[in-house]
């Protein structure tokens, strides 16, 4: 035979309030991370410019180090550009949300 259905409890339990003292997350802020990224990109571009000028003026003959510096600057700039594009896409998506 089938077991009888038990009665549903009608007692309402209150929900605990949300804590008002928000705890700040550990680690650097998002804006600080972006600033550090920008600083690294600018630094790599300056290093690439210095290496290219040193090679062009004949102060160095190390083509490999010059090309590595230029490619490092190019890749870091491309990464920064992709991060910017993703952030803009996320911002536009948030703007399209209906409240």
| Cα 10 to Cα 45: distance, rounded to the nearest angstrom | 68
- Between the alpha carbon of residue 22 and those of residues 17, 19, 33, 64, 92, the distances in Å are 13, 7, 22, 52, 28
Over residues 28-84, the pLDDT tens digits come to 888 999 999 999 999 999 999 999 999 999 999 999 999 999 999 999 999 999 999
| Cα 45 to Cα 38: distance, rounded to the nearest angstrom | 11
Does 1 score more than 70 pLDDT? no
Domain extents in the chain: 30-96
């Amino acid at each position: 035979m089938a077991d009888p259905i038990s009665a549903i409890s009608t007692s309402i339990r209150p929900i605990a309030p949300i804590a008002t003292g928000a705890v700040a997350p550990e680690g650097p802020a998002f804006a600080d991370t972006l600033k550090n990224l920008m600083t690294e990109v600018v630094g790599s571009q300056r290093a690439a410019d210095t290496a290219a000028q040193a090679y062009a003026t004949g102060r160095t003959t190390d083509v490999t180090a010059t090309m590595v510096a230029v490619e490092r600057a190019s890749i870091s700039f491309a990464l920064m550009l992709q991060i910017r594009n993703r952030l803009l896409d996320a911002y536009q998506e948030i703007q399209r949300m209906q409240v």
